[in-house]
Amino acid sequence: AKLAMADASPPSWEQVAASIQNAPDERETLSLLQAFLKASPTSQKARQQQGPTELDNATAARAAVVDIFGCADTSTWNQILAQEQRYVDLSAQRERLQPRVDRLQARLVKIKRPLAFFWSCAGDGESIVILVPAAVATLVLSPALALQWRTESRLHDLQKEQHRAFGTLDELGQKLAGAPCSTLLHTAIATNNVRRDREGVILALLQHGASLELVDSSGCNAHGLSLLASTTAILDAEAERRRSVAAVTRRAGTNTTGSTDSTGSIEEDAAVTISHQILQLHAQVVARDANGDYRKGTVTSVAPDQATCTVTFAPVDGGDTGPPPMGAVHSHPVSHAGVGAKVKEDALAQPPAISSDCATAHVLTAHQWRAYENRSDHMLRQALNLRGSLAQVPRYGATPAERRQHFGAFIDEQSHLLPMMSVVGYMTLAKRLETGGSLPHSSEMVTVPVTAIPAASKVVFFSHTRLQDRKPDNKHNVKLKGIVEAMQMFAKESGTKVESMYAWIDEACIDQGAWAKYPDIGMAFVYALPLYVAYSDYFVYCRWDRASRQDEALRYENRAWCRVEVVVGWRVGQPPLSSAPRPFERYRLSLFAEGGEDQDDPDGVSVDDLDGVQIVREVTPAGSCPALHPGEGILSVETDRPPLVLIARMLGYEKGHEHEDGTRQVEEPGAGGVRAHSRRRSSAFAISEAITSDPASVVDHEARHMRPAELFNEALKSYFDVSIAAALVSIPCILFVFMLAESGPYLEGGDDHTSGGASLYGLGNHTITNTTLCPEMGGLDSQRGATLDAQKTIVLTIGVYLGAWSIATNSLALVSRGFGYQTLRAIKGTLAGWASSGLGMWIVLLIFGDEVVRVGGDVVSSVVGAIAIVVCQLLFVGRRKVTATVAPATALIAPAPAEGGNDDTSTQDDPADKGGDQPKQGGSSQALWSVVITVLYCMLYAFVIVPLFMTLTDLQKLTFRLVVHPAVVVTGEMALREVAAAPSDKPPLIKCAAIIGFDMYFQLVGRLLVTAQTDETLAYATVVLIGVQELIIRVSYLPKKRWLRRHLYGLPPLTAEEEGRFLGVLGIDNMSSMQSEMAAIFIATAAKLTMYDVRVNFDLGFEVNERPGVSFELTAMAVALCVESVGNVVAMAVQRRQGVAHVSTLSGERWRETMLYLASTTLSATAAVFYTFALRNVGFSCPSTPFDPHGGAAFCGCDFVRDRAGEPTVLSAFCCSPLV
């Protein structure tokens, strides 16, 4: 307090509040309070503005500031101020740098056109060959592009800093929303309840006119906050004194008479104090004159409907009609003997007064003008003002109609400028529609104050954006038509006379003429929008904009203030503004072109052609906010964002409560930012839900027009998430590989050259001339002649596979339903799956013994265990109930247009009426097909392809890896993708589970096939060729789909819904495939470095007696990661151009559940892959022998135990039985 008093600037509200709360001596607080109340809070900018002169009534000035609302949590408020300043500074730096970026882009636009053409062709899938010239062109233009990249990088760094500042500001705003918002009187009473030494402060505030009726953000007024009898007595005494003064004032007002002389002045004892309840004749007001300047004047006439009034501006000396003092009384001395002639002469000599017609609602009272002059320069104060005002709304009635009758009194008790709410009558709008007129402008003065309309009236709040650059409607006046029809519908439903319907329309109800010279008054209307919504009965909006919804920056749902209006409309239905939570009901004007499709957001439809309208009723549940964060929306002025963040939080907005969708956040070009289409990376669950509710919305059409630099920037961000997720899911798999390596050997017996051994000559090997010696095997020589420990192999591979798959199966239910009450059920299902599958495996091993692999016991164990896990999952977790799919807002259409179909955005339409492309039954059979396809492909690899692969030469392995393996995998992926993208009643994410497991299994198999290359040159070549191959396969997914559909199947082109489902599934598949690819590289490298000692059981291309080189394996891993990363980023950029959304597993809804499923699926697939590569003496590859528990594990006589290209393999060397 002492520091604040010593400072030259007057103390702030927060300094006074902190002193009230913390100062040890009440006298210091009283001194600081006096300094706060005596200082005029009018800003220096306001002093220099044209308008009525400064207040000459100090008491009125103090009364205007004593009831200011502030935050009692002063420390949080100070942090917010610091973050706001940081945000504003960063915005200014971006504005300074933006022109340089624009100039640089303008210079490069011509030389980048060929490259843009190549990328456009790639996006359309015309040819993969164009990627080569595109790369060459990029190399040639690299210096210029590097300069542009450096400049844009600096700008991007500023954007990131600004984003971090915004995040901090948002967090503080959330904290501030939980703190009380109160006046100084509320703060003093609350502090006195604890300290009992602030009664002097309370008395001082009451003496300066502090309100006893205002409530704080929790709904308590001064009496309600008081807990001490002494404080209550002070408040009661002051209340009684004010009632007595009010009674005397009313009696004095009744007895006061005035007479008007020839000059139009009135004779009175004091200035007339008015409110907007009903504008009175001879009231002193402030209004705009013909030049647009606010001046003090007198109301000389009022129209019968209260729409307009005539204000006479009093002249000043010299004939200038400049602004006289606000406190002056326009009267002349009473004419009496001796002086009457002189008075008459002076009156005749005075210049004539100037009169002007004004909109009644836009005339400011003395109180409103004082509030305007005492406004704070700090924009964040607007958020606190709004929160304080919203807290007062319930005091004025339970319904909007009751509250509107007292809007004048509501204005008079606000310490900040609150413009009168005005509305346009139905009859006015209907007449304009009949005569071909458009939506009215404020200059036409057709609005009336809400205090002048009948109590039974209904008010419609219309939220929209312009359809033309200068006009709110198009040439067909389709919005006006929609508003009139909506008012007719509301009147019919509510039983109200249509003449009693009114609408709030910004173009007419906001004083548009005030913006030129008094922008702060214009912004006062804007900041009052939430209050206007709270005082309305219906909420109607229109999503169309002047760019036909093709420009993300102009879209209704992306505009910040449009989001505020929607959030407030939703908030009005929640306590304390409503007695109980209720759904948010709003009505959408769905516009369309007559004779065309009835769609609210079609491609290729110009806003100028829209001439039909349909009214769609939408209901959002009470617990779900129907809009995204207003603070993240588009703004014309970037410095407005900090207060908007606080407003959003104080309105009760919470992240996670809104409907998740693919709405893009686009920076307003006028705000100084780079035009960047930064679509949010959606979670897999969000993409799945979007496929279910609205498949067409999954396709990102705007991305097809993005620049390559923007595509790559987003691809890099998304791929970073993929890399982190891949590293995380690899950790348990690498630990499993280490356990598998340390648990060996998986052999029994040994050093027996007669039992189970086979001569190399007997196997057809003639390369070893010295028949008395076998190749050395570095520690495994003593184990020659051993048999397979099949039971140990199965327990450590199939056992881990079943255990991890049990976790994956039950966690998939958590992905579908989320953590919560289902978590315990999932744990029970997992434990039951472990127990039942383990019991089944134990029984199988007990029955078959060492013959378990030879007779297919491993297959029986896997199948029985998998069935047991599924049964346990159904018993303990259960199936998700299938319900009708609905969009975030349910819709009821009324009335339908005379011609045209149903609005397909209505979510209450019967899905069966929308054609055969809607979800159908059969999800279980499709899921079964996915499982069957996956199992067949895995068995093909486990029992045929991998054993055959191990007998090939290095060159043959390279050919196999580049031709056969991709062909097998691509056909399997195509089949699974078709199943997942088919309409059904099962969520797409559940059907994509098979794709995720398939990807992990075959990515790891393919990577282990690469590590089997023993030649270093061929190994590096294989890595590079596979990277290029993966790139070509990924970017050709959509072109292949279209080509096959057109030329092979003979089907028509994909519909919007079919393309949306396919690209949505492809987005999930991409995330899974790329993540699996990186994880497979880590796992395969770890296996090659750790499993050399168990190479007999797990031959991953090991040399007979030479351990793999650590440097070579790590280098190969680094090369593989680099090649795959470059290819994946390019593929993601091209696929984004094709409309494929980026999917993140580290953010968004249900990301934790998704990561649990991915980690368990990856571990399960890893165990299955290592069993695929494990040594198995299967019956059809090994000589059949009678059932013998002791000899059935022999493997040296199997067909795959042979030399390769004249050189011994690990198995042929191990099975060597020298002839003596």
Neighbour-count burial for 102-131, b at 16+ CB within 10 Å, e otherwise: eebbeebeeebeebeebbebbbebeebeeb
The rounded radius of gyration (Å) of the Cα atoms in the chain is: 39
Looking at per-residue pLDDT, the higher value among 1211 and 370 belongs to 370
- And the tokens for 786? 């051993």
**Residues 681/713, Cβ–Cβ less than 8 Å:** no
| Amino acid 51: pLDDT | 41
772 confidence band (pLDDT: 50, 70, 90): very low
pLDDT at 52 over 70: no
If 0-12 CB within 10 Å is exposed, 13-18 middle and 19+ buried, where does residue 619 land? middle
| Amino acid 1056: pLDDT | 76
The mean pLDDT value for 67-93 works out to 83
- And the tokens for 67? 């009831």
| Amino acid 153: pLDDT | 74
1007 confidence band (pLDDT: 50, 70, 90): confident
pLDDT digits (tens, 9 = 90+) for 838-872: 998 899 888 887 778 777 788 888 888 888 888 88
Strands 538-541 and 747-748: unpaired
The mean pLDDT value for 1068-1090 works out to 89
Neighbour-count burial for 789-809, b at 16+ CB within 10 Å, e otherwise: bbbbbbbbbbbbbbbbbbbbb
Q: What percent of the chain has pLDDT over 70?
A: 75
Question: What phi and psi values does residue 466 have, to the nearest 5 degrees?
Answer: -70, 150
pLDDT digits (tens, 9 = 90+) for 739-764: 999 887 888 776 544 333 333 333 33
Range with the largest mean pLDDT of 573-582, 623-632, 902-911: 623-632
Comparing C-alpha atoms, which of 362, 694, 689, 401 is closest to residue 528? 362
| Amino acid 464: pLDDT | 93
The mean pLDDT value for 1173-1178 works out to 79
**Residues 1062/713, Cβ–Cβ less than 8 Å:** no
Q: Looking up tokens 């199997």, which residue turns up?
A: 1198
* HEC assignment per residue over 782-851: HHCCCEECHHHHHHHHHHHHHHHHHHHHHHHHHHHHCCCHHHHHHHHHHHHHHHHHHHHHHHHHHHHHHH
Neighbour-count burial for 562-572, b at 16+ CB within 10 Å, e otherwise: bbbbbbbbbbb
| Amino acid 1142: pLDDT | 83
How far lies 1015's CA from each of 33, 642, 744, in Å? 86, 61, 27
The mean pLDDT value for 1027-1040 works out to 81
| Amino acid 674: pLDDT | 32
| Amino acid 506: pLDDT | 92
pLDDT at 269 over 50: no
Helix (H) or strand (E) holding 501: strand 501-504
When the pLDDT of each residue in the chain is averaged and rounded to a whole number, the result is 76
Comparing C-alpha atoms, which of 1067, 916, 935 is closest to residue 982? 916
Count of C-beta atoms within a 10 Å radius of residue 252: 11
- And the tokens for 531? 């209050």
| Amino acid 492: pLDDT | 93
Strands 612-620 and 584-592: antiparallel
pLDDT at 323 over 90: no
The mean pLDDT value for 168-183 works out to 84
| Amino acid 764: pLDDT | 34
Question: What phi and psi values does residue 721 have, to the nearest 5 degrees?
Answer: -60, -45
CA distance 1158 to 1000: 9
| Amino acid 1163: pLDDT | 92
**Residues 213/35, Cβ–Cβ less than 8 Å:** no
CA distance 1057 to 557: 22
Q: What percent of the chain has pLDDT over 90?
A: 19
The mean pLDDT value for 34-46 works out to 58
pLDDT at 189 over 70: yes
Helix (H) or strand (E) holding 906: none
Count of C-beta atoms within a 10 Å radius of residue 815: 25
Neighbour-count burial for 374-409, b at 16+ CB within 10 Å, e otherwise: bbbeebbbbbbbbbbbbbbbbbbeeebbebbbbbbe
pLDDT at 176 over 70: yes
SS3 of residue 731 by DSSP = helix
CA distance 692 to 988: 7
| Amino acid 237: pLDDT | 93
For residue 449, the Cα-to-chain-centroid distance in whole angstroms is 38
For residue 1102, the Cα-to-chain-centroid distance in whole angstroms is 50
| Amino acid 583: pLDDT | 86
190 confidence band (pLDDT: 50, 70, 90): very high
The mean pLDDT value for 399-403 works out to 92
Range with the largest mean pLDDT of 150-164, 496-510, 1129-1143, 1159-1173: 496-510
- And the tokens for 790? 């099949």
> Mean pLDDT lowest for which of 161-170, 176-185, 297-306, 542-551?
161-170
